Amino acid sequence: MAEVLVLVDHVDGEVKKVTAELLTAARRIGEPAAVWVGDGSDGAKASLAEYGAEKVYTAPAELNDYVVAPKAELLAKLVEQTSAAAVLVSATTEGKEVAGRTAVKLGSGVLTDVVDVTAELVAEHSIFGGATITHSKVRTGTPVIAVRPNAIPAEPAEGAAAIEEVSVEMSDAAKSAKVVERVQQEQSDRPELTEAAIVVSGGRGVGSDDFSVVESLADSLGAAVGASRAAVDSGWYPNQFQVGQTGKTVSPNLYIALGISGAIQHRAGMQTSKNIVAVNKDPEAPLLEISDFAVIGDLHKVTPQLTEEIEKR
């Protein structure tokens, strides 16, 4: 059975949940082989076997000091060495760039914002606010598939991964952009937005930079906080929390939108959420078309009551 390469998404050696989801998807296609770039303990690498990694390729940690290009070069070289059936990466901003560059190097095709993938390498995409499902398949070469976090449930497997060191000669082109500084974004005890099981987002309807109504509900649910672009552009909430076409893509089990109209650009970032709840004073707000539940009313009255009820439980 051919290998399926999975690029491990980790922050300073801590593996992100999406990696388990990618390994689960890879098991349907062939033998999952993880690709680890950067520093990380042997224990963290071996733990990938819990989700079916049969092998972990580890490249020199210095590759992490360059922007994106070395990862694409590494994946393309591994595909050539192993005749891999597919490459899976997470559909994050960086993951999508790695996917595109890798596909160019391989002369193959790239599929992004994928929400499911079959053993036959048919990828499913959810578009137009979740109203349309499309299926696509790469027709030439090894497909490079970028899968959205939270789209495919992670299922544990049994096994023990062998860790294999890979030495990679980087081309000069791969070394053209070096990371000179990493700036830690604002730290919070809340879950990471793209990985959270529940997201509570606030929009222009919040009305000011006092986002405490959104944050309190989020904290009562152990959720991440998101924001619409209108809220971010107004300076009410930091840019890193924007959900949508030009922000983050989320796919949680539950997405609660407070005072968000549901413009297509916002939907693009949250339409694959499993359950959508809208609180809006306008019964005609477009977001209601894709919501499972809606509360029509003033969010400043509805939300504190909701938070209070949840805190009682």
Q: Which residues bind ligand FAD (CB under 6 A)?
A: 203-205, 228-231, 242-247, 259-261, 263, 265-266, 269, 279-282, 285, 298-300
CA 73 to chain centre: 22
Cβ 280 to ligand FAD shortest distance, Å: 4
Cβ 258 to ligand FAD shortest distance, Å: 7
Nearer CB in complex with ligand FAD: 62/282: 282
Whole-Å CA distances, 42 to 48, 53, 63, 74, 164: 10, 14, 18, 20, 11
Longest dimension (CA), the chain: 61
The sheet carrying 254-258 orders its strands as 224-227, 198-202, 254-258, 275-280, 293-296
Nearer CB in complex with ligand FAD: 29/302: 302
Cβ 207 to ligand FAD shortest distance, Å: 6
Which residue, judged by CB position, is nearest to ligand FAD in the bound state? 244
Note the helical H segments in 108-163: none
Cβ 256 to ligand FAD shortest distance, Å: 12
Angle CA 214–220–226, to nearest 5 = 35
Nearer CB in complex with ligand FAD: 95/262: 262
Q: Distance between CA 36 and CA 78 in Å, rounded?
A: 12
Cβ 147 to ligand FAD shortest distance, Å: 20
Nearer CB in complex with ligand FAD: 118/246: 246
Nearer CB in complex with ligand FAD: 120/284: 284
- What is the chain's Cα-based Rg? 20
